[in-house]
Structure 1
């Protein structure tokens, strides 16, 4: 198992690479080019520059005796353009051109040494919460989903509510460029069914997976977040049966899952441990986090420790350890702790401290299951 940590880039993250380097057990930086919009080609120079920033030690590192290096093996995400999901021209781009651009980017990432690319196939919104800094009983804050609010909202009112102060940081999935074209997207999805989405998904995979195989890049789809339909748009990567169907669309071992257990587990009917054991051989990357469900349909992010919430993080790590999992894992959405609630405001869910604590908890579970003196 390879432990990773998501980083949004210099000037776009309150967490520095040197902070991540000091978290025991972390070997891989999960990165992206966050200034690139879905459908755009990533240039070789941009890719090389970011990988060098992650992997190279500077003269200052050497002067301080720093020798630990980090890898840039995992990209999260190369976003799928809406024309691919819809199977028609939208936002000024046709499906085949968008797919050709995706193929080019995958080839360039593979040549640069990237081994796994995460993406999602969600219509319009990549994720949804109603409160970015919801207070928890211990004084920390966390992402929160309140069902009653969403039930009363329109997509337009949701967008208005997401115009929060981002401190100059990007908010992936809620980019201004995407939201500016919302009405066109809303109109384009009228009448689109789940079967339409699966057919368009297979068309995408059949075009892209041969490039993944040629350049040894494993493509891992992220479950819908939350894992149920919203605003009537069909979400096709939500439940266990959806994951099985998605995997059946293309048999290549380079087509697989980024199994985010918090997103998958946001549907209280799902069993995250069962999903891990069922799909183990197709899980290329995994996000392990905890959430707490409430009877009224609300849920909140909580600490990674199993007894803090509704997700059996211990059982998840035991299942990975028992299978000898060799893929990538990272802690996911952490609470905001200490100075992060007093002015050093991170991107929602992506502070330093609780994710670092999460790494240690997950590694403790792994070590308990695997360590031999």
Structure 2
């Protein structure tokens, strides 16, 4: 198992590579070109520049005796253009043009040495919460989903405004203001698209992209819907065990796999995250392990610490399943609470992506892993 940490790039993250370097056990930086819009081609030069920053050391770091470096094996995410999801031309880009750019981007990433590319196939919003910095009983803040608020919404624009305000000056993947300025166009494009048609569009995407993944040895990993149920009448198709199996069956190649985010998957009551790990083990290329706690019968939830007893996700059972299977893929802690001064206006991190709780999460997850594997790994 390779422990990783998501980083948003120099000048675009309140956490530095040097901060991450001091977290024991982290090998991989999960990265992306966050200035790129969905559908744009990633050029070789900009890929190589970002990877060199991640895998290298500055002269000052070398002089200070720093030797620890990272690999840049995992990209999260190469976002899928809405024209691919809907099968129509949107924002002036046809499905064929968007597919061509995606295929060429995969080729460029594979040539550079990237091993896994994460993406999602959610309509319009990559994820959704109603509060970015919800107060927790311990004085920290966390991402929060109020199902009652969402149920009463007739226009998702209010949530767009709340999410973008929470990001401050930092980019918010999946919530790019340039793209969401066209929200009415997206709403119109999704009218009448049901689950079956959405799966058909999904198959077009996979059948077009997977041959390039196979050629350049890049594993494609879909992130479950977050939260894992339909919203605003739009179809979400990676929300359950049955939905995941159907996606994997759309293209049987082992390169068509999962970024199994157990927090997202667990946001749907009845989903069993430990069973999902065991069921799909051979197709899990990357995994996010985090915890949520349900707060009411409607399904509202708050994100909490990674410790299993903090919430409703069996993070111990999840890590045990990975350890007993000898999992050799990539894992990272996911959204953390904002701790120890991070929840102030000055220097506030990207929602869910501060330093401290994710660092604590790594140590907890590695501790659980070691409890099942330490004797074997010595």
TM-score bracket, shorter-length normalisation: over 0.9
Match of 1:111 in 2: 111
1:37: how far off? Answer: 0.3
The alpha carbon displacement at 1:215 in A equals 0.3
Deviation of the 1:161 alpha carbon? 3.0
Kept after mapping to 2: 8 A contact 1:258/1:284: yes
Partner residue of 1:336? 338
Provide, for residues 125-172 of structure 1, a one-character-per-residue CA deviation record: whole Å limited to 9, x for no partner.
111101100011100000000011101112123223334153310011
Are 1:198 and 2:199 an aligned pair?
Answer: yes
Q: Distance in 1 between matches of 2:308 and 2:6?
A: 22
Of the three residues 292, 298, 301, the one matched with 1:299 is 301
Indicate conservation of the 8 Å contact 1:2/1:326, yes or no: yes
SS in structure 1 of the partner of residue 285 of structure 2: strand
Once residues 279 and 176 of structure 2 are traced to their aligned partners in structure 1, the CA distance between those partners, rounded to angstroms, is 35
Query: Please, what TM-score do these two structures have when normalized by structure 2?
Result: 0.97
Q: Which residue of 1 aligns with 2:224?
A: 223
Equivalences for residues 155-170 of structure 1 within 5 A: 155-170=156-171
Between the aligned partners of 1:290 and 1:167, the Cα distance in structure 2 is 25
Shift of 1:236: 0.5
- Select between 342-351 and 354-363 the one with higher mean Cα deviation: 342-351
Q: Distance in 2 between matches of 1:273 and 1:160?
A: 35
Instruction: Quote the residue 1:361 is aligned against.
Output: 364
- Superposed counterparts of 1:172-211, under 5 Å: 172-211=173-212
CA deviations on 1:189-238 (whole Å, 9 max, x unpaired) are 00001111100111111110000000000000000000000000000000
Equivalent position SS for 1:371: helix
Aligned to 1:171: 172
* Kept in 2: contact 1:12–1:170 (CA 8 A): yes
Contact 1:287–1:331 (Cα < 8 Å) also in 2: yes
1:317 matched residue in structure 2: 319
- Give the secondary-structure state (helix, strand or coil) at the position aligned to 1:204: helix
Secondary structure of 2:165's match?
coil
Q: Is 2:164–2:175's contact at 8 Å kept on the other side of the alignment?
A: no
**Counterpart position of 2:146:** 146
CA contact (8 A) 1:268 1:293 kept: no
Matches within 5 A, 1:98-137: 98-137=98-137
Q: Give the Cα–Cα distance (whole angstroms) in 1 for the partners of residues 360 and 161 of structure 2.
A: 33
RMSD of Structure 2 on Structure 1 (CA): 0.9
TM-score (norm 1): 0.99
Extract unaligned runs of 5+ from structure 2: none
Give the count of matched residue pairs: 373
SS at match of 1:4: strand
Q: Partners of 2:293 and 2:183 in 1: how far apart? A: 31
Q: Deviations over 1:259-318 (max 9, x none)?
A: 000000001210000000000000000000000012332100000000000000000000
Give per-residue Cα distances to partners, 1:105-128, cap 9 Å, x unaligned.
000000001000000000011111
Q: Which runs of 4+ in 1 moved over 4 A?
A: none
- Identify which range, 342-351 or 5-14, moves more after superposition: 342-351
Q: Is the CA contact (8 Å cut-off) linking 1:273 and 1:315 kept in structure 2?
A: yes
Alpha-carbon shift at residue 5 of structure 1 (Å)? 0.1
Decide which of 333, 343, 350 is 1:347's aligned counterpart.
350
CA separation in 1, counterparts of 2:331 and 2:312?
20
Cα pair 2:342 2:348 within 8 Å, conserved: yes
Q: Could you tell me which residue of structure 1 aligns to residue 94 of structure 2?
A: 94
TM-fit CA distance, 1:359 = 0.3
Is residue 13 of structure 2 the alignment partner of residue 13 of structure 1? yes
Partner-residue secondary structure (3-state), 2:342: helix
Q: Secondary structure at the match of 2:29?
A: strand
CA contact (8 A) 2:164 2:172 kept: no
